[in-house]
Structure 1
């Protein structure tokens, strides 16, 4: 128990099994695959509905999918950001943002998902969308054109006559609405399946709103190689007395109490957060957020642990998000025109793709995205992205 502000504050402890680091990487890869499925089917639903009936015939009766097994494995990144530590340490602890790469590993001209993922419920729509333009040539010279005034992406094609851009936009908006209903439900199911516990992965949900699911994470092999480098990093960043005491402070996990640490014996009993009798020297403890994944024996020795975290982030997005992918994911109506090369009177079909500028920056998405990362936390210090208590666990107070 601790007294603060005239009130009793309880320290809660919850037991949770460790998950193998290799297993959390597998879960992270499944989360990437779940998002990639959602993003890919979102685009192809919009494109197929926009180009109905042509793409219904070419894509819903023939499966062009390249396969979801091509999702590249997730890689480990230890997340540290300034919100995790007191403002007094702003700029002191090196930051590292989550690197979950929530986008497709490659953007191409064929779907990655099977056509059942984006063709369900699409019926033939024979509504006329445009009239094809025609240009007449003689000996390579253009004589005249019968065409509209809205250019296509092909400068060699005659402009379509009376392109119904309003209907085209309406079709894409309908696909966006479908993605936010049916596809979001299935995305949530994919995420839930990815997070199912097994003998090597034990996720721990929390009762708070908008809080993360966590899994304490361990390696099989103990690691001591990090200690000196991390101590030097902390000492150089904090400066002053910490330059000489950071390493012996952390080394206590192996050697026991050090006389060199008398420099940290202060008359105050509260730390900068107002917590009475904080565990250890709080500035050095906060630097443990930079400590790597390790074996439980090392966690016990050095007073920290590492956690795998999964949480939902909801904010407006324009998909795809990588700038380099946007030119490859445009909403384009595949119109066509015809060129007549005299004396032959038979028109030669010429593609006249029509770009929908309303969606040039991407398809709007306002649903959740399941993010993931790994964090390290000193014993007795705040775990980021959680509030409330672990769901379904009884609290033990000391």
Structure 2
């Protein structure tokens, strides 16, 4: 009893509420939030429920406009949907989707590079890479499940306190090697041979190991032991790479988006809920695993207390413990349920600082979500990007645009010319191949009940009707 009284003293427990007053001078303005996580339920089919506050507001206006009272509201305002449900997908299945999205991008990036190199070295590479298939066809590695938290997801009042974790979808090749990963049909299709030479080899004459003279031009090469080309049409080389860029941004991008749609399509194990569309909104899938252990969640409570400081250092662990028990200490803190109907459009439930910290909580089983008042979601979204590929800095030296020119050395007294490779670096692409087009990212996020979902917009055009009672 003494220990309980002490804790109540520390928590400033009162009969009317808790020390965590919701209204204070620093309370964020949540009135403009629209897409909200509502709650989760076990049932025959575990699911998560989401609410569009704009749609809910329209529904209420319908009731007021028609002065409707239950149960007739179901008939007059039945077209005003504001709650959207989706079954839980297993974590392993969302990892599979993430892997397929990585595979889709890797296919695009790899075929773009090899098409550009093929066009640049037309027609020589046709015989070495289109008549022979060097494709390794390695599957993409599985992505790591990392809970994404970044600025813009939470109020600015928590800047510097909320742990930050960038999206870790790793949209790049798992390995950059001298051979392609994709089959040659991915970059040789619709290829036109061009026999117009853009390089004329140079020649150097040697006697007794000493260079006598060279018949060569001024174009620098990557091999100082080889003669410079007598002529090299640099502008033609640039045009050839530009032709490949156009091919990638038109045809390859279209096929990339087709691969993306295949990756995120609903299955018997994956239940995505599309909000608006992937270009302006996002696709989300409530995600769970079979791990019922709450200790990682409680550890996050300790972390929240340390990050927020002050009274939260003492109260945060107890606040989150309400997910496990209810007693004289935790009862005044039990605030993770949704607010009443009159309040839901204006204020989210609970102590906003601690509820926002639920964005760092891990993937767990649905009963853990229900007890602690949060959920995890897998999300994917497509945006227009301007990139230089590859993006990974360490990979850029391995993905240069090089024209494989050659020259000849003659070592007297022999008159037989010895071929010498004289590769030419196309410097305009040293930083990478340009790409302006769509790219689909993915990640995992956590969100507390009553709090806004990241990246989504609008309302779902379809939902899983008939699956829930």
TM-score for both structures, normalised by structure 2: 0.78
Matches within 5 A, 1:160-171: 160-171=229-240
Task: State whether residues 322 and 330 of structure 2, in contact with CA within 8 Å, keep that contact through their aligned partners in structure 1.
Answer: no
Q: 1:274 to 1:301 in 2, by over 3 A?
A: closer
SS at match of 1:299: helix
> Could you tell me which of 67, 91, 97 is aligned with 2:160?
91
Matches of 1:384 and 1:156, distance apart in 2: 57
Rg: which structure is higher? 2
Answering whether residue 214 of structure 2 is matched by residue 150 of structure 1, we say no
Deviations 1:314-340 (A, max 9, x none): 221000111111111111111000000
Q: 1:26 to 1:274 in 2, by over 3 A?
A: closer
RMSD: 2.3
Runs of 4+ with deviation above 3 angstroms: 7-12, 257-265, 273-277
What is the match of residue 354 of structure 2? 284
Task: State whether residues 334 and 351 of structure 1, in contact with CA within 8 Å, keep that contact through their aligned partners in structure 2.
Answer: yes
Matches of 2:313 and 2:83, distance apart in 1: 33
Task: State whether residues 252 and 258 of structure 1, in contact with CA within 8 Å, keep that contact through their aligned partners in structure 2.
Answer: no
What is the match of residue 180 of structure 2? 111
SS at match of 1:315: strand
Matches within 5 A, 1:297-336: 297-336=367-406
Matches of 1:49 and 1:258, distance apart in 2: 74
| Count of aligned pairs | 385
Matches of 1:172 and 1:124, distance apart in 2: 14
SS at match of 2:141: coil
> Could you tell me which of 115, 132, 145 is aligned with 1:62?
132
TM-score for both structures, normalised by structure 1: 0.92
SS at match of 2:281: coil
Q: 1:17 to 1:260 in 2, by over 3 A?
A: closer
SS at match of 2:119: helix
> Could you tell me which of 339, 360, 383 is aligned with 2:453?
383
SS at match of 1:341: strand
Deviations 1:209-236 (A, max 9, x none): 5111000001022121113311111111
Task: State whether residues 220 and 228 of structure 2, in contact with CA within 8 Å, keep that contact through their aligned partners in structure 1.
Answer: yes
Matches of 2:148 and 2:231, distance apart in 1: 53
Matches of 1:24 and 1:235, distance apart in 2: 31
Task: State whether residues 245 and 261 of structure 1, in contact with CA within 8 Å, keep that contact through their aligned partners in structure 2.
Answer: no
What is the match of residue 141 of structure 1? 210
> Unpaired runs of 5+ in structure 1?
none
SS at match of 1:82: coil
> Unpaired runs of 5+ in structure 2?
1-30, 33-53, 61-81
Task: State whether residues 88 and 286 of structure 2, in contact with CA within 8 Å, keep that contact through their aligned partners in structure 1.
Answer: yes
Task: State whether residues 90 and 287 of structure 2, in contact with CA within 8 Å, keep that contact through their aligned partners in structure 1.
Answer: yes
